[in-house]
Structure 1
Amino acid sequence: MDKNNTRTIVRLAALVIVFVALVLMEEPTSIPVCNINANTLEKCRPAVTGNNPPPPGIECCIILQAADLECVCKFKSHIPILATKSSKVHDLLRKCAINTIPPACQALKN
């Protein structure tokens, strides 16, 4: 086998190894903050998007009920779902039966 064939086989083997590694990798997650994984808040995005958002799903409400909302609202600029109209965030909390809105959430402004 000449050098060109050997190089081609080595490159192909390396490509296969990279592909297998990508397939086997777990979905990336973020570091939990405020008793939640910030990526899980994406389950709430439909409930605060658009002019007439749908009601939040049960998964969204479970996430919000477990979260330290005082802490979450302090990170408004870092959590895209909170970068929406404060009235939509307040409606979301109300629809998830969260009746006590922490002061940091009351101060949400665009």
Structure 2
Amino acid sequence: MEKFKSLASIATLLVVVAHIAILADAQTICNMPASGLMACKPAVTPPNPPPPTSTCCSALSQADMRCLCSYKNSQLLPSLGIDPNLAMKLPSMCKLPHPANC
């Protein structure tokens, strides 16, 4: 009986974790999905960031640039390992037609 309770607890925990992961992926910031933000992270992380990927640029093309600009001077970006100066260069690196004027 104790073994059954343990298995039931583990199964419940796995269902909860899977549900949270699904919800987290559905989250957006400034009209940019979390998966798009994660695709852009290497390109804005020092010291030697690679160029942004097509996935990053595609997600960024759908983003609300004014909203993203509001994070420019936030302490949130550096706390996540993101260089705000690199982040501000992404729109031009992605050759977006209307880069943000932050």
Once structures 1 and 2 are overlaid, which stretch shifts more, 53-62 or 20-29? 20-29
Higher Cα radius of gyration: 1
Q: Secondary structure at the match of 1:55?
A: coil
**5+ residue gaps in structure 1?**
1-5, 106-110
Q: Figure out how many residues of one structure are paired with residues of the other and give that number.
A: 97
4+ aligned runs moved over 6 Å, structure 1: none
**How big is each residue's C-alpha offset from its partner over 1:78-103, in whole Å with a ceiling of 9 and x where there is no partner?**
763695142x1233221100264433
Structure 2: runs of 5 or more not aligned: none
1:15 counterpart = 2:6: no
Q: Partner residue of 1:3?
A: none
Counterpart position of 2:95: 97
Closer, same or farther in 2 for the Cα pair 1:23/1:70, shift >3 Å?
A: closer
Q: Over the residues paired in the alignment, what is the CA RMSD in angstroms?
A: 3.1
TM-score (normalised: structure 1): 0.63
* Percent of residue pairs identical: 29
